[in-house]
């Protein structure tokens, strides 16, 4: 049941003591080795000696993604370059990329967290793990790969795309688990249907690990139904090692955040003040077990909440709700704040909707939601199309308080992404 029972079921007092010790060590490293953090701490009037307990975290300054970009490439490195064994970066599509460095210790620690995460979902050394994420500078594929190998799985480093080859690999080697983006998972299901393949009888799939882009519970259920798998939600970000920050156990009732490696805060995104357990706020994370590039109070901009009750699985690390939205993903139409996940949640719960959709934002605050629908809906009866469009329009209006234009399209009309899906096209000008 446990990869490391002592670590996963640690009592609250022992965990707090471990966190405090690791936090003090991290702050000392930051202050001694990184000029940026020394300057920020001096401005805040705090010294490493002032950090004695976990609650002292609030004395310390925040770190933002802008800070990482401004200190690119190696301004936040805490150890000599000769001790670095790995570099990952963000895509840099919105400016300078964020460079994340790893020592051997960091790689081993991240791999162990990944193994811990996968093992608690039931993955074992008898499983065949097909990794369909992008290898390279992106952390997700390699970290998941290392974790699965650590368990003893046979790993197929397939990477994304070439769906015919993916299916062939799954059939030839009897793949039991896949790592995939939600959008590609839905596309894979549509290709299987076109080929007349039933995952329940023609494949050996049992589990899908889904991540790298925001998605809703409704999308997870659709993936599970179409691929005949248990789909597990994982959370991570490159700045915090990749996908092993928080993970669902077999209960699927929230994601255990590994608090022996990350100090978690849920804060008001505007004021920066703490928010009580059970209420939504911004997730802020501090690394506690990283050598090369410790990060202090990183503002993830991810909106979630702590689930205060205990998990029946027996693990004591607190759970967070699946990510509710990202501050960066939110857009405003006619004065209303809207998250793409709100739209996806509605679409994926409507019978007749297929796998792909796109949100187009144009001047004058016009929002058009383009939705692919099941081919059976195009049966020559216009009233069926009109009824479905009206249902989607009304349900979206009730959810987001704005009435969009809804366009229903045949399957295969919208572009398909084999990596991260682009769901929002914003062509508005200021």
For residues 309 and 346, membership in a common domain is answered with no
pLDDT score for 410: 87
Considering only 11-20, 69-78, 88-97, 349-358, which range has the smallest mean pLDDT? Answer: 88-97
Whole-number average pLDDT of the chain: 92
pLDDT score for 63: 98
Domain ends where: 326, 351, 374? Answer: 326
Q: Can you tell me the mean pLDDT for 46-61?
A: 97
For residues 69 and 27, membership in a common domain is answered with yes
The angle formed by the CA atoms of residues 147, 236 and 282, to the nearest 5 degrees, is: 155
How far is the C-alpha of 334 from the C-alpha of 357, rounded, in Å? Answer: 22
For residues 370 and 272, membership in a common domain is answered with no
For residues 287 and 417, membership in a common domain is answered with no
Instruction: Look at 423 and 382; give whichever has higher pLDDT.
Output: 423
Q: How many domains does the chain have?
A: 2
For residues 24 and 165, membership in a common domain is answered with yes
| 179: nearest Cα among 205, 216, 214 | 205
375 pLDDT more than 80:
no
pLDDT score for 222: 93
For residues 317 and 335, membership in a common domain is answered with no
pLDDT score for 92: 52
pLDDT score for 148: 98
Instruction: Look at 346 and 262; give whichever has higher pLDDT.
Output: 262
Domain ends where: 267, 295, 326? Answer: 326
DSSP 149-216: HHHTPEEE---S--HHHHHHHHHHHT--EEEE-HHHHHHHHHHHHHTT--HHHH----EEEE-SS---
pLDDT score for 290: 97
Dihedral of alpha carbons 184, 127, 261, 280, sign: positive
Residues 189-244: pLDDT tens digits? 999 999 999 999 999 999 999 988 878 898 999 999 999 999 999 999 999 988 99
For residues 173 and 65, membership in a common domain is answered with yes
CATH number of the domain enclosing 354: 3.30.300.30
pLDDT score for 224: 97
For residues 48 and 67, membership in a common domain is answered with yes
Residues 66-91: pLDDT tens digits? 999 999 999 999 999 999 999 998 75
For residues 286 and 357, membership in a common domain is answered with no
% of the chain residues with pLDDT over 90: 74
Contact 127, 150 (CB under 8 A): no
421 pLDDT more than 90:
no
Considering only 102-116, 261-275, 324-338, which range has the smallest mean pLDDT? Answer: 324-338
Instruction: Look at 419 and 47; give whichever has higher pLDDT.
Output: 47
Domain ends where: 294, 326, 358? Answer: 326
CATH number of the domain enclosing 221: 3.40.50.12780
Residues 102-127: pLDDT tens digits? 999 999 999 999 999 999 999 999 99
Q: Can you tell me the mean pLDDT for 132-136?
A: 92
How far is the C-alpha of 392 from the C-alpha of 405, rounded, in Å? Answer: 10
For residues 420 and 314, membership in a common domain is answered with no
Residues 136-150: pLDDT tens digits? 898 989 999 999 999
For residues 269 and 389, membership in a common domain is answered with no
The residue range of the domain holding 176 is 1-326
Q: Can you tell me the mean pLDDT for 58-70?
A: 95
For residues 108 and 233, membership in a common domain is answered with yes
pLDDT score for 418: 64
């Amino acid at each position: 049941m446990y990869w490391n029972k002592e670590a996963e079921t640690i009592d609250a007092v022992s965990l707090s003591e471990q966190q405090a010790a690791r936090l003090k060590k991290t702050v000392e490293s930051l202050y001694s080795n990184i000029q940026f953090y020394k300057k920020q701490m001096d401005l805040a009037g705090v010294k490493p000696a002032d950090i004695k307990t976990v609650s002292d975290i609030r004395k310390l300054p925040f770190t933002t993604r802008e800070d990482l970009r401004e200190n690119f490439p190696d301004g936040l490195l805490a150890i000599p370059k000769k001790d670095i064994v790995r570099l990952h970066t963000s895509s840099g599509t919105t400016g300078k990329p964020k460079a994340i460095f790893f020592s051997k210790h960091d790689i081993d620690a991240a791999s162990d967290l990944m193994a811990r995460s996968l093992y608690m979902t039931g993955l074992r050394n008898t499983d065949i793990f097909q990794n369909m994420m992008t290898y390279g500078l992106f952390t997700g594929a390699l970290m998941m790969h290392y974790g699965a190998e650590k368990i003893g799985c046979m790993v197929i480093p397939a990477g994304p795309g070439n769906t015919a080859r993916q299916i062939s690999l799954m059939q030839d080697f009897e793949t039991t688990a896949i790592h995939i983006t939600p959008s590609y998972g839905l596309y894979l299901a549509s290709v299987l249907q076109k080929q007349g393949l039933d995952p329940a009888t023609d494949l050996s799939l049992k589990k899908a690990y889904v991540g790298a882009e925001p998605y809703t519970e409704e999308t997870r259920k659709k993936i599970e139904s179409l691929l005949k798998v248990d789909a597990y939600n994982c959370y991570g970000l490159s700045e915090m090692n990749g996908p092993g920050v928080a993970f669902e156990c077999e209960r699927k009732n929230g994601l255990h955040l590994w608090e022996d490696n990350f100090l978690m805060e849920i804060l008001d995104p505007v004021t920066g003040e703490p928010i009580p357990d059970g209420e939504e706020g911004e997730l802020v994370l501090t690394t506690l077990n990283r050598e090369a590039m410790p990060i202090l109070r990183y503002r993830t901009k991810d909106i979630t909440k702590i689930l205060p009750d205990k998990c029946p699985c027996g693990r004591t690390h607190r759970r967070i709700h699946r990510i509710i939205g990202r501050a960066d993903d939110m857009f405003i139409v006619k004065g209303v704040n809207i998250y793409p996940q709100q739209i996806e949640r509605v679409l994926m719960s409507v019978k007749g909707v297929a796998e792909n959709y796109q949100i187009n934002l144009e001047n004058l605050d016009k929002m058009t939601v383009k939705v692919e629908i099941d081919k059976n809906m195009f049966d020559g009866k216009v009233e069926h199309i009109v009824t479905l469009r009206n249902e989607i329009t009304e349900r979206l209006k009730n959810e987001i308080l704005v009435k969009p234009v809804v366009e229903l399209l045949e399957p295969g009309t919208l572009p398909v992404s084999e990596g991260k899906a682009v769901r929002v096209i914003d062509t508005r000008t200021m």
